[in-house]
Amino acid sequence: MKDFLAISDFSAQEIQSMLDLAVALKAERAAGGNPPLLKGKVLAMIFQKPSLRTRVSFDMAMRHLGGDALYLSPNEIGLGKRESIADIARVMSGYVDALMARVFDHQHVVDLARWSTIPVINGLSDYNHPCQGMADVLTIQEKFGTLKGLNVCFVGDGNNVAVSLLHACALLGANFTLASPEGYDFKPQALEIGRKLAAQSGSQIRLLRDPHEAVRGAQVIYTDTWTSMGQEEEARQRELVFPPYQVNARLVAEADKDVIVMHCLPAHRNQELTDEVADGPHSVIFQQAHNRMHAQKAILARLLNVA
């Protein structure tokens, strides 16, 4: 396990093993603290996009495990502009023990991994968000015990968050439905990978337009912002297209009685998700946010060969 760029790079057994480790590390932390598994290790964090959860969860994950984290802002690096990605990767490989990069272009994180001799973690790209996906399935597992046979419904844009959730669900045997307006579906490559993984696990993938049809029988409803960073020019058009896909009390009532509602945050409240739902009894959005740290501890421990 050299890098963590996509959930689809791993087998179901490998993903489940990391989830099991995350569960153990979370329990250990709650019981008094984690041992210094990463003592003497340093994670460099390269950010092209701002972040609350990604920055703080990785920083605290390293601290809890006895290591250190180094934040590098967009202006300090100029990834692929001020200096080539190949040169940055090779320079950083001599300074730190692992790299996490939060980028606009997925190819940038791929190139970092190609040229680095240290592990590279995808902290988000325009294609996928595997660290978020791991926190998502950890949260679902905590609620239901397993993903096998569950019905997971993503309501909204088939974006990077949806891609990682699709691949994680397909690997672990959950049925996945995307309810999206026309023109906002999965990219063909991401869908093809999902279908291959689903064929192996026996799960099903559905692509629907009607969110009300999509959530029937769902144990999980997931939504995300209608306009992601880098899509600001599309914001007005998206605000016209997505209102029928709002996750509100009426929509939640049409799902399974024990449904959980998820959002990767930050949320535009009363746009894609109403306050009533976000702060209601079905919401797990803050448990999900906290699980970013625990899932990432497991990823770091495995990449750095300490657990």
pLDDT tens figures, 13-66: 999 999 999 999 999 999 999 999 999 999 999 999 889 999 999 999 999 999
Mark whether 210 is an active-site residue: no
pLDDT digits (tens, 9 = 90+) for 170-211: 999 999 999 999 999 999 999 999 999 999 999 999 999 999
233 confidence band (pLDDT: 50, 70, 90): confident
CA 67: distance to chain centroid?
Answer: 23
CATH architecture of 132-288: 3-Layer(aba) Sandwich (3.40)
Place of tokens 């984690």: 34
Mark whether 102 is an active-site residue: yes
* Amino acid type, 243: P
**Residue ranges covered by each domain of the chain:** 7-129+292-303, 132-288
Catalytic: which of 64, 102, 167, 282? 102
Residue environment code for 47-62, b if the CB has 16+ CB neighbours within 10 A, otherwise e: bbeebebbbebbbbbb
Contacts of 142 (CB under 8 A, 6+ apart): 23, 287, 291
How is domain 7-129+292-303 classified at the CATH fold level? Answer: Rossmann fold (3.40.50)
Q: What integer is the mean pLDDT of 240-259?
A: 98
Catalytic: which of 224, 238, 282, 296? 224
DSSP summary character for residue 234: G
Whether pTM exceeds 0.85: yes
Q: How far from 216 is each of 97, 151, 212, 254, 287, CA to CA, in Å?
A: 46, 9, 7, 6, 24
Evaluate whether 7-129+292-303 and 132-288 have a shared fold.
yes
| Listed residue (69, 17, 65) closest to 43, CA to CA | 69
Q: Largest alpha-carbon pair distance within the chain?
A: 55
Mean pLDDT, the chain, whole residue set: 96
How high is the pLDDT of residue 78? 78
Catalytic: which of 53, 64, 108, 129? 129
Mark whether 169 is an active-site residue: no
DSSP summary character for residue 281: T
Mark whether 292 is an active-site residue: yes
Q: Give yes or no for a contact between 302 and 7, defined as CB atoms under 8 angstroms apart.
A: no
Q: What are the φ and ψ backbone dihedral angles of 72, each rounded to 5 degrees?
A: -125, 115
Percent of the chain at pLDDT > 70 equals 99
Catalytic: which of 53, 126, 132, 141? 132
